Amino acid sequence: MSKCAFCNIINRECESKLIYETESIVSFLDRDPINEGHLLIVPKIHVDSIEKVSLEVLNEMFILVQKIVPIYKKIYRVEGYSIMQNGGQFCDFGHFHLHLFPRYPNDGFGWTYPKGPFEYSQKVAERIRKELE
C-alpha cells in the first residue's frame, strides 16, 4: 500500500464509492461530504500542484465537472455548486484533486480568512502581470 490514500484508491487497494474512471483520472465520493454528492476528481498521477498536471488531464477533469453540474441540478434540484482545490503544502495527501459539491442557500459552507492589511493596488497587479510576460 502507498502512503497516499488517493493512490490506494486508484490502485484498488482501498475501497471507494467510484463515480467515474478513465486511463488518466478517477472520481469518487468524498468520505466526509460538505453536502451529499460531494465528489473528488483526481488525476492518476501523484503530484501536489496544478502546474505539474498536464493541460490534457486538467481538461478531462473539467469536462467531468461540466457533466456533473447538470446531474446535481437533476438529482438534488440545486442551482449552485462549489469547486475547491488546494495546492502545494495545502494539498491533502500531496495528491492533486478537485472538490466538487452541490450548494444550497444558507448551507453553512463559506470562506473564512483573516481580515489582514493586504494591499489591493495596481502595483500588486503589475508585479504578477510582469511575471506572466
Q: Contact region for Zn ion (CB under 5 A) — 36-44, 55-63, 90-98, 120-128?
A: 90-98
3-state secondary structure of 21: strand
Q: Choose between 48 and 60: whose C-beta lies nearer to Zn ion.
A: 48
Rule CB under 5 A: is residue 97 a binding residue for Zn ion?
Answer: no
DSSP state, residue 114: -
Rule CB under 5 A: is residue 96 a binding residue for Zn ion?
Answer: no
Q: Which of 44, 46, 99, 103 binds Zn ion (CB under 5 A)?
A: 46
Smallest distance from Zn ion to CB 111, Å: 27
C-alpha cell at 78: 440545486
Helices (H) and strands (E) in the chain, counts: 3, 5
Contact characters 4-23, Zn ion, x per CB under 5 A: x-xx----------------
Q: Choose between 40 and 78: whose C-beta lies nearer to Zn ion.
A: 40
Q: Which of 40, 95, 98, 100 binds Zn ion (CB under 5 A)?
A: 95
**In 11-121, which ranges are continuous DSSP H helix?**
55-76
Rule CB under 5 A: is residue 101 a binding residue for Zn ion?
Answer: no
User: What's CA 14's distance to the chain center, in Å?
Assistant: 20
User: What residues contact residue 61 under an 8 Å CB cut-off, 6+ apart?
Assistant: 25, 41, 43, 98
99 noted as active-site residue:
no
As a whole number of angstroms, the distance between CA 57 and CA 25 comes to 7
Active site residues: 97
Footprint of Zn ion on this chain (CB under 5 A)? 4, 6-7, 46, 95
